[in-house]
Amino acid sequence: MFHALSAIGALPLRSFLLLAALAPAVFAASSCASSGTFRDGVYFGRETTYRVAPLPSPWSRISFSGNDLAWEGPQGQVVAVNGVCSGHGDPSLKVLTDHLLFGFEDRVVQAREDLRLAGRAALRTRAAATLDGVPVELELTVLKKDGCVYDLTYSAPSGGFDARVADYRKLVESFEADGSPR
């Protein structure tokens, strides 16, 4: 699962973003292999349950090993939502966000904004970076609720960010977390 404190930093997220930026067709052919199910806007996973409004066309659901939910946009943009409820400790939202940026080169945090999401404090971060020389633009939203950490991420190849960021922000606004499964 590529969440803020995966066992090897953000390597799975980095690999995912690189593939998304370089080879969107790879994901179109992927079969769904999430560790949970997504039905009627609700993700039911091993560790958590949460609700998000699915992204409309032209977004396509895609799968990436160990990922909760992901969609690919028409120009290689990727939106992903992940939650983890164990093994993350209690770091700050900034530390959790910075973990998502590990491994990117030439990182420039352009803006950070505190907001309320699902009744909790959240941190939205806009950044530009390169990944193996490929420029990418990112918006990351991280929150903690009921012992769980949730990452909502948007990535786009350089120049494609503005085309679909509004869709991502609508998904973020729709996010509701039920926490750990009962």
**Angstrom distances, CA of residue 88 to CA of 8, 9, 91, 143, 181:** 12, 12, 8, 12, 17
pLDDT digits (tens, 9 = 90+) for 59-99: 999 987 778 999 999 999 999 999 988 877 789 999 999 99
Residue 5 in any domain: the answer is no
Mean pLDDT of 2-18: 40
CA 108, CA 128: separation in Å to the nearest integer?
5
pLDDT digits (tens, 9 = 90+) for 98-132: 999 988 899 999 999 999 999 999 999 999 999 88
Residue 79 in any domain: the answer is yes
Cα angle 9, 12, 163; round to 5: 110
Entry pTM: 0.81
Residue 59 in any domain: the answer is yes
Residue 2 in any domain: the answer is no
- Domain count across the chain: 1
pLDDT digits (tens, 9 = 90+) for 150-182: 999 999 999 999 999 999 999 999 999 975 554
User: Domain with 28 in it: what CATH number?
Assistant: 3.40.1000.10
Residue 4 in any domain: the answer is no
CB atoms within 10 A of CB 72: 23
Question: Structural domain of residue 113, as residue ranges?
Answer: 11-179
Side-chain-side CA neighbours of residue 91 (13 Å): 16
